[in-house]
């Protein structure tokens, strides 16, 4: 069983396999399921991800407090116009928004790694798949690669906003998605982990400050930006930017930074934008 990124990369090289294959082998052992059955589970989760990433693009969802109603369709419609970053980036943002909107309306999503960060990985997987015409089989392999990255965070750090801030939720999701994006574009496993590290470094210290205590604002916006950040990190790695800080050390640093964050900035809604005059007004309007 691998314990960190170094272990996983070493095992893959020793066995002449890709990281996703080693992770899949471990999953079959842990679950006592056949390889085919495990792949079926991954495929089903991919379907859930894609459904939630598409559901709100054209149909506004009704969410608690109405804080993120229509954010996906707003961004999606804008993606067809004269944008700054281009239609592709804005479409990826809209896919991430859609998942967040579905989540906030009590729809079906796949926590990846959490419900609050559920839009980042699906947006990247679907966005890259459609834009680059990536086969579904490769997307599944990328999903397993991302899952291995997420597993390393859970074993050595945290994926809970209440424990480590939003860097542990949207940050980890962006890290997972960066590895997946790099994989889909043909990067080797070392580059995938470089991408994962870059994505986390770029949001290190991100606080968790949900307005009115709801998983909506700023969660949805951070899902959109986290998806774009994952693509940026993947491009950094594939361009050959040097990862001076190894992935495992990035994970350790994230955990330490999370523990340094005061409770007010760890999902309690007692700090950050949750306690701005506007944030408090929203709380009063929703809860009285």
Model confidence, pTM: 0.98
Contact criterion met (CB below 8 Å) for 12 and 22: yes
User: In this model, does residue 1 exceed pLDDT 90?
Assistant: no
Query: Residue 232, class by beta-carbon neighbours within 10 Å (0-12 exposed, 13-18 middle, 19+ buried)?
Result: middle
Burial class (CB in 10 A: 0-12, 13-18, 19+), 99: buried
Structural domains of the chain ordered from first start: 5-287 (1.10.4100)
The pLDDT-based confidence of 64 (bands split at 50, 70, 90) is confident
Mean residue pLDDT of the chain comes to 98
pLDDT digits (tens, 9 = 90+) for 193-226: 999 999 999 999 999 999 999 999 999 999 999 9
Q: What is the mean pLDDT of residues 34-61?
A: 97
Residue 256 CA neighbour count, 13 Å, CB half: 6
The token pair at 158 is: 């945290």
Contacts of 41 (CB under 8 A, 6+ apart): 33
Furthest-apart CA atoms within the chain: distance in Å: 60
The per-residue pLDDT for range 232-275, each reduced to its tens digit, is 999 999 999 999 999 999 999 999 999 999 999 999 999 999 99
The residues pairing with 65 across neighbouring beta strands, listed in sequence order, are none
Q: H or E stretch including 22? A: helix 19-31
Please give the share of the chain, as a percent, with pLDDT higher than 70: 100
């Amino acid at each position: 069983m691998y314990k960190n990124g170094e272990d996983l990369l070493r095992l893959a090289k020793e066995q002449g396999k890709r990281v996703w294959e080693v992770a899949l082998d471990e999953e079959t052992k842990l679950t006592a399921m056949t390889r085919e059955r495990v792949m079926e589970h991954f495929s089903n989760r991919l379907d859930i991800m894609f459904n939630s990433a598409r559901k709100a693009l054209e149909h506004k969802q009704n969410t608690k407090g109405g804080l993120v109603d229509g954010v996906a369709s707003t961004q999606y419609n804008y993606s067809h116009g004269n944008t700054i970053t281009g239609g592709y980036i804005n479409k990826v943002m809209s896919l991430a928004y859609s998942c967040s909107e579905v989540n906030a309306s009590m729809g079906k999503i796949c926590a990846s790694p959490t419900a609050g960060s559920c839009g980042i990985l699906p947006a990247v997987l679907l966005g890259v798949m459609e834009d680059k015409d990536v086969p579904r089989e490769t997307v599944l392999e990328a999903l397993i690669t991302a899952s291995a990255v997420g597993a390393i965070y859970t074993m050595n750090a945290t994926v809970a906003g209440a424990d480590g801030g939003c860097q542990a939720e949207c940050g980890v999701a962006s890290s997972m998605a960066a590895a997946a994006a790099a994989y889909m574009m043909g990067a080797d496993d070392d580059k995938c982990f470089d991408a994962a590290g870059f994505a986390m470094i770029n949001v290190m210290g991100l606080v968790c400050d949900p307005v009115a205590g709801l998983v909506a604002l700023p969660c949805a916006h951070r899902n959109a930006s986290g998806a774009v950040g994952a693509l940026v990190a993947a491009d950094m790695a594939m361009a050959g930017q040097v990862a001076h800080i190894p992935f495992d050390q990035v994970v350790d640093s994230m955990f330490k930074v999370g523990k340094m964050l005061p409770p007010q900035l760890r999902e309690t809604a007692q700090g950050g934008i949750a306690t701005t005059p506007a944030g408090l007004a929203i709380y009063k309007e929703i809860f009285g």
